């Protein structure tokens, strides 16, 4: 994959790339996406939650290398009911006590309503990292649609667990409906009805169910109104499963002992230390999707006069966004504050970077908005200080990247963005 000039790097892409690595659990397709994000800027920090949501679905649509493929003939054996499947015995584990790709496929098939099954593929627990998954195409007579399921263990109460069942912010991810409910056993279930492409450049719909139990079992189900996640023609108006059937599939009891197999295989020895990147305890984390109040207040305090804040949001303590209006239309502005980014300085700040008297380097960029909104532009000021603290601020001439422009230019000038990004107030947050 060609690498573009590092000066074209999206200031938020590294965060998005890490989200794809975590959500996609390292499958090849996700590594390609992450690399593209690092080089070309495929995303914003707030899309991390969308990436978490999409990642578990996308792994089931990954490249077929090492994936078990089974032909589906659509015969009598392809017709099952959820009630019959959940009443049957749990699937057998592999010889090593793990889950085979064949068992993942068979379990998914058995849980689906009547219809023709084809294009089966799956991955078991014989691949690292552990996220067994399966995908089939299901046709109930109204057209085939892809259905995918993946299993994962998450730290109970962690940011990842909560993000998986938190509806995305519509400022970044457009959708028709999304709802999170708490089940009788304390599990959280999110049902999401949205689109494969945020800019709606195709009519491919993506519906998903995310279940996270109090014990950390995570079951992710996705479906599309096409036979593949991307680059396949739409075959039906809606995905094949109704919202109720989607819920029933995600909450089927048979998945839970299968996720427990992952817990046994991931259990560290008595002397093992926590793995890098493992989730922090719940009490150490703010609610998913809630920016640190100090972050928001600092951001608002640095705005120039004459701007009214219409909406705000963000991600934990290092990102915040505002939708502001100066009377001429909505304009989204977002900031990301990162500590210890010296390792990326050479890549992100080239010879054309401005160097301030205190050693802070500043890069300015102006270009089209990346998420497909009509006539949307993105103005960015990226800064890094001698101690490695990086502050990046971007403004758009729209209230969201994926919607049409609401004004000719962002509500803040490049000079005002530079003034905010280089403010010493950000140092008080770290």
pTM (2 d.p.): 0.67
* CATH (residue range 293-429): 3.40.1000
Backbone angles phi, psi at 258, to 5 degrees: -70, -40
Query: Rounded to an integer, what is the distance from CA 72 to the centroid of its chain?
Result: 31
Torsion of CA 179, 59, 338, 369, to 10 degrees: -80
Report pLDDT for 84.
37
What residue segments make up the domains of the chain, in order of their start? 59-266, 293-429
C-alpha to C-alpha distance for 334 and 388, rounded to whole angstroms: 20
Report pLDDT for 240.
97
Residue carrying the six token digits 């009911």:
81
Q: Which two tokens stand for residue 205?
A: 């719909």
Q: Give mean pLDDT in consecutive 10-residue pieces for the chain, a chain of 430 residues.
A: 35 35 32 29 37 47 52 43 38 65 96 96 84 95 96 90 89 90 96 87 92 96 93 94 97 96 66 37 42 84 96 79 95 93 92 95 90 83 96 94 90 97 91
pLDDT in tens, 163-198: 899 998 888 888 999 999 999 999 999 999 999 887
Cβ–Cβ under 8 Å, residues 82 and 252: yes
């Amino acid at each position: 994959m060609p690498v573009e000039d590092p000066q074209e790097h999206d200031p938020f892409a590294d965060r998005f790339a890490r989200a794809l690595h975590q959500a996609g659990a390292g499958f090849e397709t996700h590594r390609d996406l992450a690399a593209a994000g690092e080089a070309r800027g495929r995303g914003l920090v707030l899309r991390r939650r969308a990436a978490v949501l999409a990642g578990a679905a996308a792994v089931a649509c990954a490249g077929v290398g090492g994936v078990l493929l089974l032909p589906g003939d659509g015969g009598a054996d392809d017709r099952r009911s959820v009630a019959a499947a959940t009443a049957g015995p749990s699937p057998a584990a592999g010889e090593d006590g793990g889950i085979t790709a064949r068992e993942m496929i068979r379990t998914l098939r058995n849980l689906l309503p009547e219809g023709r099954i084809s294009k089966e593929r799956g991955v078991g627990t014989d691949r690292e990292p552990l996220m067994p998954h399966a995908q089939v195409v299901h046709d109930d007579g109204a057209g085939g649609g892809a259905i995918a399921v993946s299993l994962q263990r998450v730290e109970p109460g962690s940011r990842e667990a909560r993000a998986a069942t938190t509806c995305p912010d519509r400022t970044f991810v457009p959708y028709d409906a999304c709802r999170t409910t708490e089940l009788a056993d304390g599990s959280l279930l999110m049902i999401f009805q949205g689109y494969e492409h945020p800019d709606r450049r195709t009519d491919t719909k993506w519906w998903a169910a995310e279940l996270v139990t109090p014990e950390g079992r995570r079951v992710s189900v996705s479906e599309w109104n096409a036979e593949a996640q991307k680059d396949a023609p739409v075959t039906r108006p809606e995905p094949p499963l109704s919202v109720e059937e989607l819920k029933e599939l995600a909450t089927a009891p048979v998945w839970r002992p299968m996720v427990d197999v992952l817990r046994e295989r991931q259990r560290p020895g008595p002397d093992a230390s926590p793995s890098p990147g493992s989730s922090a305890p719940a009490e150490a984390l703010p609610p998913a999707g809630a920016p640190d109040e100090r972050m928001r207040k600092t951001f608002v305090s640095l705005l120039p006069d004459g701007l009214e804040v219409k909406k705000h949001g963000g991600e934990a303590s290092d990102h915040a966004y505002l939708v502001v209006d100066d009377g001429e239309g909505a304009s989204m502005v977002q900031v990301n504050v990162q500590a210890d980014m010296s390792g990326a300085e050479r890549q992100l700040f080239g010879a054309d970077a401005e160097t301030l008297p205190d050693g802070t380097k500043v890069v300015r960029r102006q270009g089209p908005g990346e998420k497909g909104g009509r006539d949307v532009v993105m103005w960015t000021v990226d800064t890094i200080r001698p101690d490695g603290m990086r502050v990046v601020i971007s403004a758009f001439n729209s209230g969201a990247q994926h919607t049409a422009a609401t004004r000719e230019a962002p509500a803040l000038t490049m000079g005002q963005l530079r003034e905010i990004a280089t403010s010493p107030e950000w140092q008080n947050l770290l």
